Amino acid sequence: MKTIESDIEYCKKAILHGSLSFHAASLALPESVRTPCLALYAFCRLADDEVDLKQDKSASIYDLVQRLDLVYAGTPRNHPMDRAFANMVEKFDMPRALPEALFEGFVWDAMSKQYKTFDELISYSARVASSVGVMLCVIMGERRAEVLSRACDLGVAMQLTNIARDIGEDAKESRLYVPHEWFRQEGLDPEEFLRKPDKSESTVLFTKKLLGKAATLYHRSEAGIAYLPPKVRPAMFAARHIYSAIGTEIKNNNYDNINYRARTNKFTKTKLLTFSAVQSLASMMLPAPATVFAEPLQQTKFLVEAAKIQEAHEVNWSSRFLSVLEQLKTHDRKKISA
């Protein structure tokens, strides 16, 4: 399947409007890697928007399932993102279990799933973020378990940062990702918070905990970046620092993520791109950190195993994903009968 230049241009525009942080980091990638990464991210952005922005989320999920089936059958829909994504899948022999994991996270969103424990939140983050990081590794030609594990760390860190940034915005849309156990420890009712989201000592504590967990994983991810091919390291260090800078902005807003949405400005992104280029150069002269060999998070092990196997064109969905789809159907039936 041949890449159509106009399809990639379409993906570039989608990224520019959909994720300024990813767009900024991608500028540091060589064109040979940047093009398939844009195709991947644009398709993931499209899928996320289909579920997040549309009223009938279940219908969006079923439509996405069909679209991915067509991609792996080599007959994508006649849409720039589908065609570009299908070309990437074929060229890099992308294991289907990886976008499948991403879609599992979307199903959880469609069911408005909330998380009782922090471990459950990590499972969600693994699906919606680490899956993308592992797919990026495959595009970069990297399938070593230790490097994939650190890519998963980076994905979870980014998602925790997103959750910390959007606590207020999500609550106004009746979405809650902060674990229920954290509310319970503070003597608070999650549903009451959703009805009236206000900044408090508790929301500040939740935010600090999310960013603290993310900081640990950002640090550990650097060991994996140092094992990537030298030409892609500046972009990945940039992604790591641009996303973690969102946490710095939250702190600068006195941890008020109820009334403000933290953003990094163009000057900050440019400064971090420069810093990342220097860090990348240093990584080529210094020994790589031994933390690259740390065990993967329990919740991301299945992604590491999936990426190690080159079996992109599986015919059927896994039993795990079919089970998740069945849960969505049950959820839909309960809504209709309510």
Domains, the chain, ranges and CATH? 96-317 (1.10.600.10)
Q: What is the distance between the alpha carbons of residues 57 and 43, in angstroms, rounded to a whole number?
A: 17
Share of the chain above pLDDT 70, in %: 94
Mean of pLDDT values over 89-107: 94
Mean of pLDDT values over 179-205: 96
Share of the chain above pLDDT 90, in %: 71
CB atoms within 10 A of CB 113: 16
Residue-wise pLDDT for 300-328, tens only, equals 999 999 998 765 455 578 888 989 999 99
Q: What is the distance between the alpha carbons of residues 190 and 53, in angstroms, rounded to a whole number?
A: 23
Tokens of 158: 């980014």
What pLDDT does residue 18 have? 55
11 confidence band (pLDDT: 50, 70, 90): confident
What pLDDT does residue 308 have? 83
Q: What is the distance between the alpha carbons of residues 302 and 293, in angstroms, rounded to a whole number?
A: 17
What pLDDT does residue 210 have? 98
Distance of CA 257 to the CA centre of its chain: 20
Mean of pLDDT values over 291-304: 96
Residue at token pair 């106004």: 172
Mean of pLDDT values over 120-146: 96
- Candidates 181, 334, 164, 320; CA nearest to 255 is 164
Q: Where are the beta strands (DSSP E) in 237-336?
A: none
pLDDT exceeds cutoff 60 at 279: yes
Across the chain, what does the average pLDDT equal? Answer: 91
pLDDT exceeds cutoff 60 at 1: no
What pLDDT does residue 192 have? 96
The helix (run of H) or strand (run of E) holding residue 11 is: helix 5-18
The whole-model pTM stands at: 0.92
Residue at token pair 């299908």: 86
What pLDDT does residue 236 have? 94
